[in-house]
Structure 1
Amino acid sequence: MTNIVLIALDTQRADHLGCYGYHRDTSPNLDALAAAGVVFERCYAPNIPTHPSFTTLFSGKEAITHDIVNIGGGVPIADGVRLLPEILSDAGYVTAAVDNMNRHFSRGFEHYHNYQWDRSDPTVLRKAETVTNLALPAIEEVINDPRPFFLFLHYWDPHTPYLPPPGYEELYTDGERDPYDQDNHSMDEAWTWEPFKWYFHDWMPGVTDAEHVVSLYDGEIRYMDSYLAKVFAALEPVRDDTIVVITADHGEVLNEQLGYFDHHGLYEGNIHIPLIMSWPGKLPAGRRVPGMVQNLDVSQTLLDLVGIPQVQGMEGVSLLPSIYGVRERNYETVYFSEATWQVKRAVRTDRWKLIRAIEPDPHGRPMKELFDLAADPGEQVNLAEDRPDVVAELEALLDAWLEKRLAETGRKSDPVADQGACATSIGKPKPDDVVGAGAVPLRERTGRAASIPDPSELNSGR
């Protein structure tokens, strides 16, 4: 009898965890789990943001197959696509989730525990605490069931708004820096981007120091990590019989790209996600897989580990050969899509990444961006005009892959292009308020805390 616990950390960049080399001690409990398990150093989310990525994770199918290419776009999951909890339920598992996405994500769960945040304090959102308070009784419930269990826990740290509780809010901030210094212009572009400025105004009004906001993101991670320790402790009685998987749906652009403090853009900060697997005595401890894999591969791998034949036509590649050292990667080339705030596809090799826009970029970026990731891992220098030979080579790969996928799925056109962008703005304008430098700080405000936007809010500007 083998149990599975899948823990998703929404908006978690891989490179802000200690086990992925981050310089701050943001994740001691996750790092301990990683040291006792398998770390996939270059796991990618091929379809972002949240709804496409989780659908890919649970279905083992790429977005052209499952048809979920954006957030709240109004297109249902494709007929015949079955999800991991449904498959495990049919195989005799008790299935439980602590999650609030609902939609098709609740399919296959016998117990689906929903949650809402306490927003009574405008300066704090206790997201990890809320999830853990439901997770602990859910763990007890499935442990006491005679059947093997599949448990999905969806943490929303460190998704915006970054409002960690006291003790974590100031953990990484620099006490010598004034986050409201009006001579600091590092947040100017964030405050002048119309689609997001009113949402930012709800949870960090007046902040001018982008590094301060990054420190709040890191505080969210450390806060979440402290509550994950309680989950790991609750699983100890069945730990030898339980596979624990840690991953994310996507990362976050912080202050290194346009698109500040959100997860649009097919840059490494958004698409490079953590993937950690631990099963004491069964999976090798301390194994690090250096090559490229995808979250597309996770469901296939879990079914292989628990011995359930996969008859769903999953498109991922089992990670078992990489886990046990037979190979170092699943892919030489990975293909990406997004269609929420902007509509783009990308292709990545070990060295190069080409990002190609289908619709004009809302930040005014060029229709093609080429990055030499070996020389420029931060993707700061667009070489598309300087290296047309590389652009042509990567475009040929992308076009051939897309043609192949459309043929495999019987489609005549790309659903990313067909569905297009579905988001225009978030946050409600307050015409009498100052936005950006000089705004009334959050601690001087009253009312309710800002919250994670519902997908229905993303087109509020229409």
Structure 2
Amino acid sequence: MMKKPNVIMFGIDSLRRDYMSSYGYHRLTTPHMDKIASEGVLFENHFSPSIPTTPAYASMLTGMDCFGTDVVALRHQGGLGNHVKTLPEILAQHDYNTTCIGFTNNPSSRGFQKYLEYEAWQPDETGRCPKAENLNEVAIPELKRLNKEDKPFFLFLRHMDPHSPYLPPRPFERIFYDGDEKDPTNQSMEPVYNFKPHADFFKSWIPQGVTDQRYVCAQYEGAIAYMDACIQHIFTTVEELGIEEETLIVLTSDHGETLYEHECFFDHHGMYDNCLIVPLILKFPGQLTEGKRITDTTVIQDITPTILELLGIETDIAFNGQSLARAIKGEELAPIAEFYITECTWMRKHGWRTPEWKLIQALEPDFHFKPEIELYHLVKDPEEIHNLASEEPEMVNVLQQRMKNYIAEREAETGRVNPIYTNIHYHGLEEGPLKSSQEAYDKLYLGSISNARKIQAK
């Protein structure tokens, strides 16, 4: 009997689709991933509707939305329930070896047979952190070990280079920047350093004296380019092992990133499109059309059913996502015109997104002192700068009603309360909803790199 295909999944943390050259970015940030896109299928409108990390990976690895996983928060109360099966659990039942790199202790990565870690936070003696190379040192020997077994394998790689702190090693820290980052007349970093909840975290990794926000954004670009170069080492190993034809490559991300937009500096909170839009690229030689680009709207919970169909594995699971294999063959997908969005990182909000409009509704005051209701016309205002909530009260009502109806429908289907309503301790403070933006500003403190890593580990 022929061995089933292998899967290597790059679940890259905090990678913005619009910063990848294959998606039209004006700088050549991702040449090696672009090549994979040219040899496979690229999805142009792929979304992660529930951010941040924990709910997004939960959806990615189960094929379920946030009602199906019952997970919405970074520090989720309760974890991923046994009512859902994860992709590694399903593949293990079909005689796969499964390994996860860079994602221990999180309920969203449940079910791997082997977990390996690497240094993805602390800078080395040069003040930089070669995250992707640290990952390769663990991943490439593991890839070779898996290949020696007589079973197919699923290797999941959680790259952290685009996740703050952005610390690409030389020369990548300057390949997209040629200014004076410490120019005393530039004041663009003032609002960043003045944002008390995260200021100490920023100061723990942004070099002292940096005044230009463009320099920090260039670190993000450089981190992506550095990671892309390191990822090529993994593609080369796949070629050298002679397993290209029998290996499905999946390149995607859990959510995007905010750089200097919306005053949510260098993090991934805020349900603006820079956080919700992510890449999805699939390569499977002989099975998928080369160089195909699909414009249909797709969502993160489509990934697991797609992988299973491409591997020829049938299950009786009623996924919330749909397999995208049909679209790859040129058939129609069930259209996704609008969808529910949630965020539970440093702010607890939910909303509704259509191709034209986005509603963002706060469930408690946030530490940016933003209004309770935000409404954006995505066609006229794709940057989501002009809040039209007070000018378009009827549209707010229409979208609120659609959102309410959808929540009621999903609560009835799952027999559970919407998890965004029950995760009131998402911030780790062990107290109920915050009463004011000032209280949130005073209490939600991030601290150093070490503290940020601890929060992720929880």
Instruction: State the SS of the aligned residue for 2:89.
Output: helix
Q: How does 1:419-458 map to 2 (within 5 A)?
A: 419-420=423-424, 421-422=426-427, 424-428=444-448, 450=449, 453-456=452-455
State yes or no: 1:169 paired with 2:173: yes
Instruction: Report the counterpart of residue 254 of structure 2 in structure 1.
Output: 249
Q: How does 1:38-77 map to 2 (within 5 A)?
A: 38-77=41-80
After alignment, is 100-109 or 235-244 more displaced? 100-109
**Pair 102,330 (structure 1): closer, same or farther in 2 beyond 3 Å:** farther
Question: C-alpha separation between the residues in 2 aligned to 1:221 and 1:86?
Answer: 31
What's the offset of the Cα at 1:414?
A: 2.6
Q: Deviations over 1:59-90 (max 9, x none)?
A: 11112232221112342212322100010001
Question: C-alpha separation between the residues in 1 aligned to 2:457 and 2:304?
Answer: 30
State yes or no: 1:376 paired with 2:381: yes
Please point out which of 2, 5, 16 is paired with 1:2.
5
Check conservation: 1:126, 1:165, Cα contact below 8 A.
Answer: yes
Q: Deviations over 1:184-235 (max 9, x none)?
A: 2222221111110000010113322111111110000000000000001111
Instruction: Report the counterpart of residue 353 of structure 2 in structure 1.
Output: 348
Check conservation: 1:290, 1:328, Cα contact below 8 A.
Answer: no
Question: C-alpha separation between the residues in 1 aligned to 2:103 and 2:309?
Answer: 28
Please point out which of 313, 317, 323 is paired with 2:328.
323
Instruction: Report the counterpart of residue 125 of structure 2 in structure 1.
Output: 121
Q: Deviations over 1:362-381 (max 9, x none)?
A: 10111111111111111111
What's the offset of the Cα at 1:115?
A: 2.1
The CA RMSD over aligned residues, in Å, is 1.8
Instruction: State the SS of the aligned residue for 1:59.
Output: coil
**Pair 79,197 (structure 1): closer, same or farther in 2 beyond 3 Å:** same
Question: C-alpha separation between the residues in 1 aligned to 2:451 and 2:145?
Answer: 29
Instruction: State the SS of the aligned residue for 1:124.
Output: coil
Instruction: State the SS of the aligned residue for 1:235.
Output: helix
Question: C-alpha separation between the residues in 1 aligned to 2:67 and 2:167?
Answer: 36
Instruction: State the SS of the aligned residue for 2:100.
Output: strand
Instruction: Report the counterpart of residue 136 of structure 2 in structure 1.
Output: 132
Please point out which of 179, 182, 196 is paired with 1:180.
182
Name the amino acid aligned to 2:156: F
Q: Deviations over 1:219-272 (max 9, x none)?
A: 000000000000011112111111100000111011121111000000111010
What's the offset of the Cα at 1:328?
A: 6.2
**Pair 340,40 (structure 1): closer, same or farther in 2 beyond 3 Å:** same
Check conservation: 2:55, 2:108, Cα contact below 8 A.
Answer: no
**Pair 238,212 (structure 1): closer, same or farther in 2 beyond 3 Å:** same
State yes or no: 1:404 paired with 2:409: yes
State yes or no: 1:285 paired with 2:290: yes
Please point out which of 208, 213, 220 is paired with 1:210.
213
Check conservation: 2:100, 2:112, Cα contact below 8 A.
Answer: yes
What's the offset of the Cα at 1:394?
A: 1.2
Gaps of 5+ in 1: 429-449
Instruction: Find runs of 4+ consecutive structure 1 residues off by over 6 angstroms.
Output: none
**Pair 360,122 (structure 1): closer, same or farther in 2 beyond 3 Å:** farther
* TM-score where L is the length of structure 2: 0.91
Check conservation: 1:63, 1:69, Cα contact below 8 A.
Answer: yes
Q: How does 1:134-173 map to 2 (within 5 A)?
A: 134-173=138-177
Instruction: State the SS of the aligned residue for 2:132.
Output: helix
Question: C-alpha separation between the residues in 1 aligned to 2:124 and 2:321?
Answer: 43
Question: C-alpha separation between the residues in 1 aligned to 2:399 and 2:104?
Answer: 35
Check conservation: 1:296, 1:315, Cα contact below 8 A.
Answer: yes
Question: C-alpha separation between the residues in 1 aligned to 2:201 and 2:126?
Answer: 14
Instruction: State the SS of the aligned residue for 1:238.
Output: coil
Question: C-alpha separation between the residues in 2 aligned to 1:166 and 1:455?
Answer: 27
Instruction: Report the counterpart of residue 275 of structure 2 in structure 1.
Output: 270
What's the offset of the Cα at 1:288?
A: 0.8
What's the offset of the Cα at 1:455?
A: 4.5
What's the offset of the Cα at 1:148?
A: 1.2
Name the amino acid aligned to 1:140: K
Question: C-alpha separation between the residues in 2 aligned to 1:82 and 1:258?
Answer: 38
Instruction: Report the counterpart of residue 104 of structure 1 in structure 2.
Output: 107
Question: C-alpha separation between the residues in 1 aligned to 2:392 and 2:327?
Answer: 33
What's the offset of the Cα at 1:329?
A: 6.7
Check conservation: 2:105, 2:457, Cα contact below 8 A.
Answer: no
Question: C-alpha separation between the residues in 2 aligned to 1:317 and 1:386?
Answer: 37
Question: C-alpha separation between the residues in 2 aligned to 1:408 and 1:328?
Answer: 23
Question: C-alpha separation between the residues in 2 aligned to 1:401 and 1:455?
Answer: 35
Please point out which of 339, 344, 349 is paired with 1:339.
344
What percentage of aligned pairs have identical amino acids? 35
Question: C-alpha separation between the residues in 1 aligned to 2:335 and 2:191?
Answer: 38
Q: Deviations over 1:261-284 (max 9, x none)?
A: 000000111010000011111111
**Pair 239,159 (structure 1): closer, same or farther in 2 beyond 3 Å:** same
After alignment, is 368-377 or 74-83 more displaced? 74-83
Instruction: State the SS of the aligned residue for 2:61.
Output: helix
**Pair 315,328 (structure 1): closer, same or farther in 2 beyond 3 Å:** closer
Name the amino acid aligned to 1:225: D
Name the amino acid aligned to 2:30: S
* TM-score where L is the length of structure 1: 0.90
Instruction: Report the counterpart of residue 435 of structure 2 in structure 1.
Output: none
Instruction: Report the counterpart of residue 17 of structure 2 in structure 1.
Output: 14
Question: C-alpha separation between the residues in 1 aligned to 2:107 and 2:167?
Answer: 29
After alignment, is 321-330 or 295-304 more displaced? 321-330
Check conservation: 2:54, 2:106, Cα contact below 8 A.
Answer: no
Question: C-alpha separation between the residues in 2 aligned to 1:314 and 1:162?
Answer: 35
Question: C-alpha separation between the residues in 2 aligned to 1:126 and 1:38?
Answer: 29
